[in-house]
Each structure stands twice: as structure tokens, then as C-alpha cells.
Amino acid sequence: MASRDVTDPGATLRKKLKPRTLARGPCCDVLEAEGPGIFRKTAKSLLKLDLVVGSSGAKRLPAAAALADLPDPCLPMIVTAPGERLGLFVLDGALVDGLIEQQLLGYVARAPRVERPVTRIDAELSRGFVAAILKSLTVELVEEPRARAVCGFATPVMETDRATLDLAMTAPAYDVLSLSLDLGPGQKQAEAQLWFPEDTDPDAETQADGPTGWQAQMRENVMAAPLCVEARLPSLPISIAEFAGLQIGSILPLPAEALREAELVDAVGNQVARGKLGQLNGNRAFRIGAILSDPTQTEAEVLPAPEPADLAEIDTGMVTGLDAGLELGIPAGAPLDMTPDLGPPEDLPEIAPSPMNAPLPMHDAPEDSSELPDFPAMAQADFPVSVE
């Protein structure tokens, strides 16, 4: 019978309770490579502070382990990003003192730090540096697919209560970048941490860098689908008799301003743009002059509505029957006959007949596209809309 080691009865239990090893987040390599440079450039450009990054490392930690690794004392600032994502920017006491001294004195003092708790004033004086670091991360890493989880963060808010942090940091794990900083250099040794919630869905579309994977392919296919638009001239009012007399070969004259009042409509008839009709390289062409932000919006809705007038100041010019009688000297109660006497019908002038079948003038109708106004020659890429 084989012997059994019972010298450590808790070994089996500890093995079962051993925390799982988290896979390294996709943004960790990017943070290690780009984080130190962003810190150096931001400190120099924003505060004229010479800063050297001694060491840096990024790893994925459970929320509880990351909270247990916070330096003491420190200034934790909760940062937010679209999608209700919460991260953390942590500055230790030496970094807070160095940022304040650089802003107030113009240099970082070598004197040892006086032990004191961080305050709201410390947070306000450090907020600009934190916001600038977050903005630089987004600007410089927005095109990097692996850095999706670190982009878009802003609005740092101080939170020093550990119990509140434990409740606020709800992500299962965080990608944490830790940096050792030399301020001055040689004046103060400091530490900073940046926490970003783990990116659990690598194919998810985010506001930082747009769709990836199958979503990018779908977007490309949708944007490449053909779309039919029509260029139309303004409506032309004609009489019923003229409409009834239309036949093959009839010509309707257009006013000269019609070419400058053309419109572009979509497949269901919604107006999407207004512009001019002309020609380009011998072909009819449409130049866009204005685009409607809402295709269902009418031109009347685009124009601002007039301010309502005060009803008390409006004189309608209307009089009542009683007022008219008093004005004309008619006794009260007498019937008012407001109908004018036009005389017998035979005294009225005759109305000249309408020339419904008269030939239409031809001076406004161009016979071909060569008579349309010319647009300046341009490359095809500069004029993507064509009308058949």
C-alpha cells in the first residue's frame, strides 16, 4: 500500500483555491511599447517637465488583485469611456507632489515627501495631466486594433475610498500598465498605474476604431451597393388645355432659372440635395449646391420659422357690421348691404379668349446639352455624382 503524505493537510485545498492565471490582454504589448513615450511627451509638452520612465510592464489582473496592488498613499481617479466602461488612473504621492511643484514652482524639488493624505486640491492640480495622457492614448493608438480597450477614456474623477473603488471597478479583470518614473530627473522617484477593463469581445464595434472582422466586411459590402438617384428640374405649371394638347414633338419652354433650381432625389422621391444642371465634358451633369441633413425634411422645414408676433399689436384691418354702420352714419339696427353694385352684366368688359392652341415660344428651350452652362473641368473623383 502506497504511503500518503499528510504533512500539509491544507495543500489540496490551496491547490483548488489557487487563482487562475489570466491570459495576457491584447493591449498589453501596445501599452508597454507606447505608454512610456506618451508619458514623456505629455509631461514635456504640457508642463515642461523632464520625466524618465525607469521600467514599465502591463499585465491582466483580477479586479481584487489589482486593488490590493495600489500604492499607498495614492490618488486614484476613475475615468470613463463610451459603453459605460470604467477605468482607473493611479498616481502615487510622489508623482502628485512632483506635478504640483512643477506647476507652482517651475521645477521638481529634491526634498523628501512629507507624509500626508491626498486632497481634492491635489486632484484638481493633477487632472490636466491625467486628461492629457488619456487623450494622447486615444489619438496615437486609435488606428491600432489591439488597443481598442484603451481608447476613448476621459473625465477623471477622484475617488480615494477603497470600498467605493471595489464597488465601481465591476469588470472581472483589468489590463494594468505600471510605470516607475524618475522626475526631474533625479529629483523624485514616482509610480503610476493605468487600468483598462478587459476587452471581452475582440470583434465588437467600438467608438474608438470602428468595426472589425466580419462587421468591416459587411460595412464594405453595404457601402459598395448601387444606389439610384435622380436629378429633377422644378415643376412646370401648365393649363389643363395645354396638358390635354401634349403630343409627340411638343416642346415645353423652361424659364432660365430652372437650371439653377434643380434637385437630387432618392429612389422613393425624397429630396436629398439642391444644385445646378449643366454639362461636364460634353455630358449633362448636376452640381450639388446644398445637402439636406434629413432626406424627409422639406425645404420649408429647413428655413427658420418667423418669430410669432404679439397678438395685441396686430391690426387686422377688419371692422364689424356695427362699426361700419357707425362709421358711415347708418342708424343702428338698419340692415347693412355690403355687396357692391356692379351694374348689369352687359356693361362688363368681355374677357379675351385664351390662346390654348397657340404655338409655344422657343427662345428658352435649349436643343441639346451644348447650350447648357459649362462647369469647370475637373477630375472624375471630384465629381462623383452622374445622372443618366
Q: Is 383 inside any structural domain?
A: yes
Nearest to 86 by CA among 109, 66, 103, 100: 66
Phi-psi region of 329 (alpha: psi -120 to 50; beta: other; left: phi over 0): left
Q: What pLDDT does 14 receive?
A: 46
Q: What pLDDT does 267 receive?
A: 80
Does 29 share its domain with 111? Answer: yes
Cell numbers found for residue 241: 388645355
Does 24 share its domain with 135? Answer: yes
Q: What pLDDT does 268 receive?
A: 80
Does 109 share its domain with 149? Answer: yes
Whether 273 contacts 263, CB under 8 Å: yes
Whether the model clears a pTM of 0.85, i.e. scores above it, the answer is: no
Q: What pLDDT does 313 receive?
A: 38
- How many DSSP H helices and E strands does the chain contain? 10, 10
Radius of gyration of the CA atoms of the chain, in A: 39
> What CA–CA distance (Å, rounded) separates 61 from 19?
11
Distance in angstroms between the alpha carbons of the first and the last residue of the chain: 94
- Measured at the CA of 258, the angle between CA 257 and CA 260, to 5 degrees, comes to 70
CATH number at residue 232: 2.30.330.10
Mean pLDDT by 10 residues, the chain (388 residues): 46 48 84 95 94 94 92 94 92 95 94 90 95 95 90 91 88 94 94 90 45 66 83 84 89 81 83 83 81 56 42 39 42 48 51 50 49 58 47
In terms of residue numbers, what domain contains 261? 226-303+366-388
Collapse the DSSP code of 284 into the 3-class scheme (helix H, G, I; strand E, B; otherwise coil) and give the result.
Answer: strand
Nearest to 26 by CA among 113, 164, 149: 149
What count of Cα atoms within 13 Å lies in the side-chain half-sphere of residue 66?
Answer: 30
Does 171 share its domain with 234? Answer: no
Does 173 share its domain with 298? Answer: no
Whether 181 contacts 204, CB under 8 Å: no
Task: Give strand pairing partners of 192.
Answer: 91, 179
Q: What pLDDT does 4 receive?
A: 44
> What CA–CA distance (Å, rounded) separates 189 from 54?
9
Q: Is 204 inside any structural domain?
A: no
Does 168 share its domain with 252? Answer: no
Q: What pLDDT does 375 receive?
A: 60
Task: Give strand pairing partners of 181.
Answer: 53, 190
Nearest to 153 by CA among 27, 67, 32, 46: 27
Q: Is 175 inside any structural domain?
A: yes
Q: How many domains does the chain have?
A: 2
Helix (H) or strand (E) segment spanning residue 220: helix 214-223
